[in-house]
Amino acid sequence: MPVTRSLPDPRAPNRVVPVLAGLALVLVWSLDFGRIQPNRIVPGTGHGLVSALGWGGAALISLALGGSLLLSILPVRRRYPCLLVLITVLLAALPQLLVVFAARQLPEGAPYARTVIGAGFWCLLFLLSLMVVEVLGRLRARYGVPLLLLALIAASWLVLLRGDGLDSLSLLREYQAQPGKFEQALWTHLALAFGAVAISAVLAFALALRMIRSPGWQRPILGAVSFLQTIPSLAVFGLLIAPLGALASAFPVLQALGVRGIGWAPALLALVAYSLLPMVRNTFVALTDIPEHLTDAARGMGMTERQVFFQLKLPLAMPVIIEGLRITTIQAIGLTAVAALIGAGGFGDFIFQGLGQAAMDLVLLGALPTIALALLADALLTMLAASLRPTPARA
Amino acid sequence: MIELKNVTRRFGDTVAVDGIDLAIETGEVCVLVGSSGCGKSTTLRMINRLLPHSSGEIRVDGKDITTLNPERLRLNMGYVIQGTGLFPHWTVARNIALVPRLLKWPQARVDARVRELMTLLDLDPDTYANKYPAQLSGGQAQRVGVARALAADPNILLMDEPFGALDAITRENLQLEMLRIQRQVRKTTVFVTHDIDEALKLATRIAVMDQGRIVQHDTPENILRHPASEFVENLVGKQDRGLKLMSLRPVRELMTAHARPRPATPGADALGEDDSLREALSVMLCRNLTQLPVCNGRGEETGVIARERIIRDGV
């Protein structure tokens, strides 16, 4: 049988999935699946897999994990589609397990009692996600399939979270304790992060063009944006309080706009300052790295400088510019959480409140969506960059 | 017609091109040949104003090029370079359509022209039109480069070492292709190369350059027979000039033609009418033959060529 090195034989056993599935099996049996807390602060009691879900549930999970383990080793036809379906169903059904757990273990007549997601569940979620990523990679799935899967899983989670079965979940308790605040935090977070990225993208583009037009500007501009990057983020937030406060009291117009020493204005400024370096550097490098023989040919064929820029340089630079945009966006989403310290709002509010009240569930209510946002932005921008590559990947 | 009068180009203190005069007649292939750094590429790039000349005058069809808009000037000059310069984010068809689209031709005319050119350059439109440059071999990519240069039917073709990066066999094929196309379209061509054999094969006239000056500007035959200086003599090769002269003449010129074409003997060695005397002699020496049949394009035997004749009259 001829050996092909470029394409691994789809019938060869997979090495990654069995390791992940085996690890998941071990962890889900050895760690607490969930906990029941009598109220917000008291740690409460942990429940293992059997105690949480009963023998039936435990057997079902073990079977599914064992099944994917076997599917990935045994010489099976259509191994990866089968695995994909199995793991997706498992992922989509995860919240249902929490419903079962709550129904089995939550004490009656204890209005403050809550269910808390345990380490076993988190590990299961994490390892299953890794398995999906591995299987999707093996299938060489196009953008549509991962998006569809994500939508399916997210929809099933949303439906279950909105239903009654999970009311006792600690995260939802925290969510319901401050109605409307979560959504407000989401919008503030998005507005700050994406506002900063948008502003810095425009600024960076202008700066990069300036540097290309007049090379004398390269050192000062790159030096300045690199310097901005080296100041610790907390220090920037702090440093901006005094000048912005002074500005606002000097110009009442600014005050009317909501510019103060604390709040969104210093946060946005600091985020823009941080976003500049990756954006400027990527935009500049992308636009100057166009091979000379291409611009030479373009000019020699009679293109004007404008046509060379818009038809040749910009399209070729786009994937690298988007890569800069991706790094910047992820960084801005994370930093926006810190900006809550100077009263900018966003998910950071929950994190710092939770830390102050020693309520880990509240911390998670802020941290989990921040992570989800960052992952989502990363995935979407990676796909965008890939779709803009000049030559199709399956060339 | 392209005329250069006392054209000089300086880069700082160094003189890259030193007061050259050169006239390229309409429809001829002028090959600029010389070692690297002799100013041949600089000369070419001054003709389409990619480089401004420091002094002197360049006229294209009688007009001083500094009075023309540089983009308009270049749109009427096909430009082929060594690295092909194909846009990697555009398909083959879109690359070829570059200049017609800059000239705002209607889409139907552009499409028809792209197909026509791909066929002319022996690239199947259905197979290659939607491929990207990265999916082509070096020779195919350079064919696309030539097609792109010919797309809007310019009067002038500028070629800067177009086949320099290709392997010997592909280069030879493209040179033959280029001769065939030139017979069909008759472009005024300026061709830069450092390969004297390529120059001898393609040129109507060759301009030999050395240190920014033109040391000889003449037909390939005269360059071989009467090299103007030691430098040219070394360039064309002192010892094998006789063979090189033979490679300039086709077999047709010295063969003894039959009264009428007759069917070729199957399986026997035969030459084409357009093969050079040098190839004919080489085959005969190799096979130890005193004469060889000559066939035309349809495979009919039209005459024979004798070894004695080549040796007596070949040079």
Instruction: Give A391's pLDDT tier (boundaries 50, 70, 90).
Output: low
Q: Do residues B70 and B204 both lie within one domain? A: yes
Is residue B95 one of the residues assigned to a domain?
yes
Query: How many H helices and E strands in chain A?
Result: 16, 3
For residue B240, name the pLDDT band (cuts at 50, 70, 90): confident
Same domain, yes or no: B269 and B150: no
Residues B161 and B292 in one domain: no
Residue B277 has pLDDT above 50, yes or no: yes
Is residue B269 one of the residues assigned to a domain? Answer: yes
Looking at the complex, does the CB of residue A393 fall below 8 Å from at least one CB of chain B?
Answer: no
Prediction ipTM score: 0.84
Question: Does residue B61 surpass a pLDDT of 80?
Answer: yes
| Inter-chain CB proximity A294 and B89 less than 8 Å | no
Q: What Rg, from alpha-carbon coordinates, does chain A have?
A: 26
Q: Indicate whether B244 belongs to any domain.
A: no
Chain B CA closest to residue A316: B89
pLDDT bucket at A22, cuts 50 / 70 / 90? very high
pLDDT, mean of residues A47-69 = 90
Which of B196, B218, B239 is the last residue before a domain boundary?
B239
Residue at a domain's end among B215, B239, B263? B239
Strand order in the sheet with B14-24: B14-24, B2-11, B55-60, B63-64
What are φ and ψ of residue B5, in 5° steps? Answer: -120, 115
pLDDT digits (tens, 9 = 90+) for B68-126: 999 999 999 999 998 888 999 999 999 999 999 999 999 999 999 999 999 988 899 99
- Asked if pLDDT for residue A89 goes beyond 70, the answer is yes
Let me know whether B193 and B282 are in one domain: no
pLDDT-derived band at B48, boundaries 50, 70, 90: very high
Q: How far is A168 from chain B (nearest CA, A)?
A: 55
Q: If interface means Cβ-Cβ distance under 8 Å, which residues of chain B face chain A?
A: 48, 50, 71-77, 79, 81-89, 98-99, 102, 132, 134-135, 148-149, 158
Contact assignment for A300 to B158 by CB distance below 8 Å: yes
Query: What is the CATH classification number for the domain harbouring B271?
Result: 3.10.580.10
Minimum distance, in Å, between the CA of residue A393 and any CA atom of chain B: 11
Same domain, B219 and B266: no
- Which pLDDT does position A156 carry in this prediction? 87
Q: What is the pLDDT of residues A325-358, one digit of tens each?
A: 999 999 999 999 988 888 888 899 999 998 988 8
Residue with tokens 């509010």, as numbered in its chain: A349
Q: Answer whether A301 touches B (CB < 8 Å).
A: yes
Residue A385: C-alpha distances to residues A362, A381, B15, B305 (Å):
35, 6, 46, 64
Strand B291-295 relative to strand B2-11, pairing: unpaired
Q: Which domains does chain A have, with CATH numbers?
A: 16-173 (no CATH), 181-387 (1.10.3720.10)
Which pLDDT score, from 0 to 100, does residue A10 have? 60
B198 and B261 fall within a common domain = no
Q: Which of A22-36, A109-123, A230-244 has the highest mean pLDDT?
A: A22-36
Q: Write the residue in A293, A302, A304 that is nearest to B85 by C-beta.
A: A293
A390:B85 CB<8 A: no
Using the predicted structure, report yes or no on whether residue A3 has a pLDDT greater than 80. no
Nearest Cα to B56, choosing from B14, B13, B15?
A: B15
Closest chain A C-alpha to B214 CA, distance in angstroms: 24
pLDDT band at B193 (very low <50, low <70, confident <90, very high): very high
CATH code: domain of residue B28: 3.40.50.300
If asked whether residues B23 and B116 sit together in one domain, one would say yes
**Is a pLDDT exceeding 60 seen at residue A187?**
yes
Give the number of other CB atoms < 10 A from CB of residue A370.
21
Give the pLDDT band (50/70/90) at residue A393.
very low
For B117-175, what is each residue's pLDDT tens digit? 999 888 999 999 999 998 999 899 999 999 999 999 999 999 999 998 888 888 988 99
pLDDT digits (tens, 9 = 90+) for B262-272: 887 777 778 88
Q: Would you call A307 and B148 a contact, using CB atoms and an 8 Å cutoff?
A: no
Give A71-76's long-range contacts (Cβ < 8 A, gap of 24+).
A71/A17, A72/A13, A72/A14, A72/A17, A72/A18, A72/A21, A73/A13, A73/A14, A73/A18, A74/A13, A75/A11, A75/A13
Residue A2 has pLDDT above 70, yes or no: no
Q: CA B6, CA B57: separation in Å to the nearest integer?
A: 7
Angle between helices A264-288 and A233-250 (to 10 degrees): 120
Same domain membership, residue B204 and residue B125: yes
Q: Which residues of B touch A307 (CB under 8 A)?
A: 102
pLDDT at A360: 82
Instruction: Supply the range of the domain harboring residue B306.
Output: 251-313
Asked whether residue B246 is domain-assigned, the answer is no
CA dist., res. A195 & res. B258, Å (int): 86
Are B307 and B216 found together in one domain? no
The minimal CB distance from A316 to the residues B89, B132, B134 is found for B89
B221 found inside a domain: yes
Confidence grade of residue A186 (pLDDT, cut at 50, 70, 90): very high
Partners of B158 in the β-ladder: B79, B190
Alpha helices in chain B (DSSP H): 40-47, 70-75, 92-96, 98-102, 107-120, 125-128, 138-150, 168-185, 196-202, 220-225, 230-236, 241-246, 277-287, 307-313
Lowest mean pLDDT: which of A260-264, B131-135, B298-302?
A260-264
Domain check: are B270 and B231 in the same one?
A: no
Per-residue model confidence as pLDDT tens digits over A204-218? 999 999 998 888 888
Q: What's residue A143's pLDDT? A: 67
Position with higher pLDDT, B63 vs A141: B63
Computed over every residue of chain A, the mean pLDDT equals 86
Q: Do A298 and B85 touch (CB under 8 A)?
A: yes
Question: What token pair was written down for B249?
Answer: 């003449």
Question: What pLDDT does A394 receive?
Answer: 39
Q: Is B251 exposed, middle or buried (0-12, 13-18, 19+ CB in 10 A)?
A: buried
Tell me how far CA of residue A16 lies from CA of A116, A135, A320, B146, B192, in angstroms: 30, 9, 31, 50, 56
Whether residue B189 sits in one domain with residue B43: yes
B44 contacts B158 by C-beta, under 8 angstroms: yes
A298: nearest CA partner in chain B = B85
* B60 belongs to a structural domain: yes
pLDDT tens-digit series, residues A127-139? 999 999 888 888 8
The domain boundary, picked from B212, B239, B266, lies at B239
- Can you say how many angstroms the Cα of residue A37 is from the centroid of all Cα atoms in its chain? 29
* Torsion angle of the four alpha carbons A373, A378, A379, A380, in this order, in degrees rounded to the nearest 10: 90
Between B238 and A188, whose confidence is greater? Answer: A188
Best of B49, B98, B190 to mutate (most A CBs within 10 Å, chain A): B98
Structural domain total, chain B: 2
B91 part of a folded domain: yes
Q: What is the mean pLDDT of residues A45-49?
A: 88
Which residues lie closer than 8 Å to A143 by C-beta, 6 or more apart? A383, A386, A387
Task: Answer whether B92's CB lies under 8 Å from B140's CB.
Answer: no
Classify residue B177: in a domain, yes or no.
yes
Of A294, A300, A304, the CB nearest to B87: A294
Which of the two residues, B281 and A240, has the higher pLDDT score? B281
Quote the pLDDT of residue A395. 36
- Look up residue A284 and give its amino acid: F
Q: Same domain, yes or no, for B93 and B20?
A: yes
Q: Does A5 touch chain B (CB under 8 A)?
A: no
A305-320: per-residue pLDDT in tens? 999 999 999 999 998 8
